Structure 1
């Protein structure tokens, strides 16, 4: 019998990456802002946290213990091994744990709405054609031709869910699905991009007319990565379904890619930097 509803592999690094919309010069404050929202979003879910502290000082461990009970959290202390290797560790950890069938890859720069994470879990449980779920309604879905493809739509609890071609590396799935797709996700450690690995899994934007409309995105480098890392999956593998919510359940905090149609400054009570 599973002990938890969900196992989370949460990776965190004490330096600022990209351009966050808030706390752009203070990673600790940004980390707490995100972690607090994540905890509040989980609601009543019984969650096992496995935290990858990549070069973090002791204050970061204390931060997690502020929001999660010590018996429900494990820490893995790493010496600044970086983004590629920590993602590989997330895969390994989530495949080898026996706490739950449902697993979540978490990055440290997402803001979540309170008491909404359960909707993702229920959506995945209740629909056999849902393989992966992202909490993030990405701005690119509305601005880039690569995402202007035919979508499947479902409505659940006043939220619309749609199939999408790609997302980042924060997502929900099951151990079984992760096991079947492990080889594709593992190409990220070898130099593949998250964009390419998702396109190869979902395949929904690989139709000729979409490729032609998206020629600015599909550079020679992208084609090269598909051929080098995911050729067999792209040509012969199963098409997997990745779903995203509208309105969003969370947003990546990169300033130029916040989820659209939401007044984030009003939600946060903080001016976007």
Structure 2
């Protein structure tokens, strides 16, 4: 199994309360620590000369773009389709995630049993929508799911994830139209994209009747219902304190200790 790592980094970001020690550069160092530099491509979008030089100091020659969030994601989707074999796999990584040891092994196993794999067990799956949680599929403390075992790790089927995920190039190619539709705004609409891809009973909040009809038709026309899984517990987390992956001890793994 060949996995290509397409890592997007930018100097811009939305203001969020994040783990202070994990700057974007340190997130990249953490990724290299856990996944190595082989098959890694770094896409520096709207980055300063200083950021680009810091990336080069890690032994990486970044691909420089100026496309914004959705635009840079489309770029790496098309890059994958144009440059890699259909049977290869790609892991799209945003610049504000940290990974635990054995994340690489878990990702390999996950890709053997599902179409889409995220290493992030998003805590939104455990907050009831009725209690002001953001995910409309969550009630009674969780989502309806099934649990899978890949040989060393447990996984659950889930209804959505962020823009940090892995899939085969073949899957990405077949699903390109859907990814293009949900990246036509400045910020990708990952939640809605995965609703269509996994053929959920649509709960498209804040959409016009005209667009709802279009999305229902889009969902109906999806030829294959995609599977999306996340490990329990997770092997990665977004660095925003509000949405840290549950259970895993983010203050005690080796990459953190090396930084401090």
TM-score (norm 1): 0.78
**What is the deviation of 1:64?**
3.1
Residues 49-60 of structure 1: pairs in structure 2 closer than 5 A? 49-60=40-51
Unpaired stretches in structure 1, ≥5 consecutive residues: 212-217
Q: What is aligned with 1:221?
A: 207
C-alpha offsets along residues 207-232 of structure 1, whole Å, 9 cap, x if unaligned? 7xxx5xxxxxx53338765544x333
Q: What is aligned with 1:142?
A: 126
**What is the deviation of 1:54?**
1.2
Q: What is aligned with 1:215?
A: none
Higher helix share: 1
Q: Is the 8 A contact 1:226 1:234 kept in 2?
A: no
Q: How far apart are the structure 1 equivalents of 2:100 and 2:244?
A: 14
Q: What is aligned with 1:10?
A: 7
Q: How far apart are the structure 1 equivalents of 2:208 and 2:232?
A: 28
**What is the deviation of 1:94?**
1.0
Q: Is the 8 A contact 2:182 2:192 kept in 1?
A: no
Q: How far apart are the structure 2 equivalents of 1:243 and 1:78?
A: 31
Unpaired stretches in structure 2, ≥5 consecutive residues: 130-136
Q: How far apart are the structure 2 equivalents of 1:240 and 1:90?
A: 21
Q: Is the 8 A contact 2:126 2:143 kept in 1?
A: no
Q: How far apart are the structure 2 equivalents of 1:65 and 1:138?
A: 32
Q: What is aligned with 2:31?
A: 38
Q: How far apart are the structure 1 equivalents of 2:120 and 2:47?
A: 26
Q: How far apart are the structure 1 equivalents of 2:126 and 2:17?
A: 21
Q: What is aligned with 1:107?
A: 94
Alignment RMSD, CA only?
A: 2.7
Q: How far apart are the structure 1 equivalents of 2:13 and 2:154?
A: 33
Q: How far apart are the structure 1 equivalents of 2:247 and 2:176?
A: 34
1:264 lines up with 2:250 in the alignment: yes
